[in-house]
Structure 1
Amino acid sequence: MDRMRAVAFGLIVHLLRFGLIWAGSSVAPIVGITGWWIGLFVNALCVLFAVILVTRLHLWRASGFLTAWRGWMALAALSLPVAEAAIRSTFGLEDRAPGVGWWALTLLLVGINEELISRVVVLHRMALSFPPVAAVALTAALFGAQHLSAFATTDRTASDILLNVVASACYGFALAAFQCRFSWIWPLMLVHAAADFTTILSRFHDPGDVLAIVTSVGFAVYGLILLRRARGTARAIPPRVPRTADSS
């Protein structure tokens, strides 16, 4: 029963986020926000939602958000996701309106809200009810499934959306495994934002989605390696910080 509640909790959190995106997109034009700026507005709302959740659950310290340095091993473990983001940047970036700075800002907001929601709030709840591999896998599955919202918010093809769901789940598995192992969320926010930035603005076009498939397999293997190393470590499942000890 507790495991069912954990999954239901994760599902509800993601549905609330989707509802916020839909509501924000609907309200934005009414208050004079149109075009590209709707995305920025909605991303800001999602960050606010994520901050409220993490604050309410007292997870800032447990998430590692307040930890400036976790060690060389944790930094080295970021090599694969950093490399994946960097590969696309080598092909150059497109100069899209309204400008690189605005794109960087809105995608940073995406990285912040998705990491706080998936790799902090949802992963923490799953970790209370499941062993590490299952907790990470369920968190990743929900993270991937949230991208099904593209059916309602974009005009992308079904095959493109479904591939993105699978790729996002594999990417989410890798990042959740890192968080499970090291509890160091703020670097994941930056890496996530950089990955989105280079994916959207890179001049590289993936023929036959080869890079997406290869990196997805790589991220799945990477996550399993991190989880294997996490067994028996105190940080594998970050405990909730009691209210009296939390400075947030």
Structure 2
Amino acid sequence: MRLHPLVDAAGVHVLRFLTMLAVLAIAGAVGIDGWYLGLVANTAVSILAVVLMTRRRLWRSSGATVAWRSWAALVVLIPLAVEAISWALPSGLTERAPGYPLWALTLVLVGFNEELISRGVVLSRLREAYRPAVAVTFTGALFGLQHLSAFALTSRAAGDILGNVALSAIFGFALAAFQWRFRWIWPLIVVHATADFTTLLATEPLPDVVVGAAHVMLLTLGVVVPRWPHSPRDTRSAARLEIRSSDAGAPRPIEADPRRSASLRTGRTSS
């Protein structure tokens, strides 16, 4: 028996959280500690994401194997990329232990597993049952709620965590809108990893007003992008993807690195 789409989607996030908890406990028991716990946990949930994407046969339909989608997709990516890079603009980045390379590796894993799970598995499941606005909104909301895991995985203040949940939901809403319209997930992995890298290692945070304006922009993208006109080529490609998905008969079973701290200017964090 197949689960209700929303239950299935929420269950995928719960599965990711439980996997992370289990791996953190095991890693701690064998002597891994400190910063490296996050690296091990995100490696484990990245493997989980690959398994789910493979089991549900979503690599092609999500655009993970598509090198180039369209000029329209590139245009929409530009403001997402600017928002990601902007955190490094006021005064650059500051290298922190254990150094840029290991931070980059971990945050690529974060972007990889969160995009495959949220904009890959979850959105693909929700688009089967809901119209665009509803599926995109649910995807963003579930992504934001995922960051409640910080209550279990960190010692951050409640207000900080709840603010992060709200801003992460907006971020996830915009990325889900892009993925709904263009089905091109790998650039979202790059944007996501870049945003995490710049916000974590920024020497100075952006002013609250800039963060607020950026998230208004993300909300606007989330509303507008699913309505972006389709070219005839887009329509044909989407139809082929739907046919492949339905023919595949694929089964559909069902934190640890802070990004921005307490105020609005500290924004969303990865979990």
Taking structure 1 as the reference length, the TM-score comes to 0.92
The structural deviation recorded for 1:242 is 3.7
Report the CA distance shift for 1:134/1:230 in structure 2 as closer, same or farther (over 3 A).
Answer: farther
> Does the aligned pair in 2 maintain the 1:107–1:197 contact within 8 Å?
yes
The one-letter amino acid paired with 1:171 is: F
The structural deviation recorded for 1:230 is 5.4
The one-letter amino acid paired with 2:149 is: S
- What residue in structure 2 maps to residue 174 of structure 1? 174
Find the aligned partners of 1:230 and 1:12 in 2 and give their Cα distance: 33
The structural deviation recorded for 1:236 is 7.0
Find the aligned partners of 1:125 and 1:211 in 2 and give their Cα distance: 34
The one-letter amino acid paired with 1:214 is: A
The one-letter amino acid paired with 1:183 is: R
Please say which of residues 48-57 and 220-229 is displaced more in the overlay.
220-229
The structural deviation recorded for 1:214 is 2.2
Find the aligned partners of 1:122 and 1:236 in 2 and give their Cα distance: 18
- What residue in structure 1 maps to residue 41 of structure 2? 42
Alignment of 1:83-122 (within 5 A): 83-90=82-89, 91-122=91-122
Find the aligned partners of 2:246 and 2:101 in 1 and give their Cα distance: 36
Larger relative helix fraction: 1
Q: Give unmatched runs, 5+ long, in structure 1.
A: none
The one-character-per-residue Cα deviations of 1:206-242 (angstroms, maximum 9, x if unpaired) are 44x4333222221011111101215796367963264
> Does the aligned pair in 1 maintain the 2:87–2:206 contact within 8 Å?
no
> Does the aligned pair in 2 maintain the 1:167–1:212 contact within 8 Å?
no
Provide the aligned C-alpha RMSD in A: 2.1
> Does the aligned pair in 1 maintain the 2:52–2:121 contact within 8 Å?
yes
The structural deviation recorded for 1:158 is 1.2
Are 1:243 and 2:242 an aligned pair?
Answer: no
The structural deviation recorded for 1:150 is 0.7
> Does the aligned pair in 2 maintain the 1:60–1:66 contact within 8 Å?
yes
The SS at the match of 2:127 is helix
> Does the aligned pair in 1 maintain the 2:126–2:135 contact within 8 Å?
yes
- What residue in structure 1 maps to residue 135 of structure 2? 135
Alignment of 1:205-244 (within 5 A): 205-207=205-207, 209-229=208-228, 234=235, 239=242, 240=245, 242-243=247-248
Percent identity between the two aligned chains: 48
Are 1:78 and 2:116 an aligned pair?
Answer: no
Please say which of residues 235-244 and 189-198 is displaced more in the overlay.
235-244
How many pairs does the alignment contain?
242
> Does the aligned pair in 2 maintain the 1:144–1:172 contact within 8 Å?
yes
Find the aligned partners of 1:244 and 1:137 in 2 and give their Cα distance: 27
> Does the aligned pair in 1 maintain the 2:199–2:205 contact within 8 Å?
no
> Does the aligned pair in 1 maintain the 2:62–2:183 contact within 8 Å?
yes
Please say which of residues 223-232 and 87-96 is displaced more in the overlay.
223-232
The one-letter amino acid paired with 2:134 is: A
Q: Give unmatched runs, 5+ long, in structure 2.
A: 251-271
- What residue in structure 1 maps to residue 63 of structure 2? 64
Find the aligned partners of 1:236 and 1:176 in 2 and give their Cα distance: 16
The structural deviation recorded for 1:44 is 0.3
